[in-house]
Amino acid sequence: MDRSSCPECGFLLEVGEPVEGQCLTCPRCHARLEIVSLEPLELDWAYNEPSLMDLNELERL
């Protein structure tokens, strides 16, 4: 089991079978996180890509 700290609150999360790009939620602060590296296991805040609907809305402005 791999471990890494939440970048928001420092809580040590255990990840059974980590996959790069996998998203998870910190059980302590509920931050939405993404696995950005496997060696060593590193977590960062998960960022949402703009949806096609958001991009179309921006084009109208």
pTM of the model: 0.75
Q: What is the 3-state secondary structure (H, E, C) of 1-40?
A: CEEEECCCCCCEEEECCCCCCCEEECCCCCCEEEEEEECC
State the residue range of the domain holding 17: 2-60
* pLDDT given at position 47: 85
CATH for 9: 2.20.28.160
The number of folded domains in the chain is 1
- Per-residue pLDDT tens for 26-54? 999 999 999 999 999 999 999 876 555 55
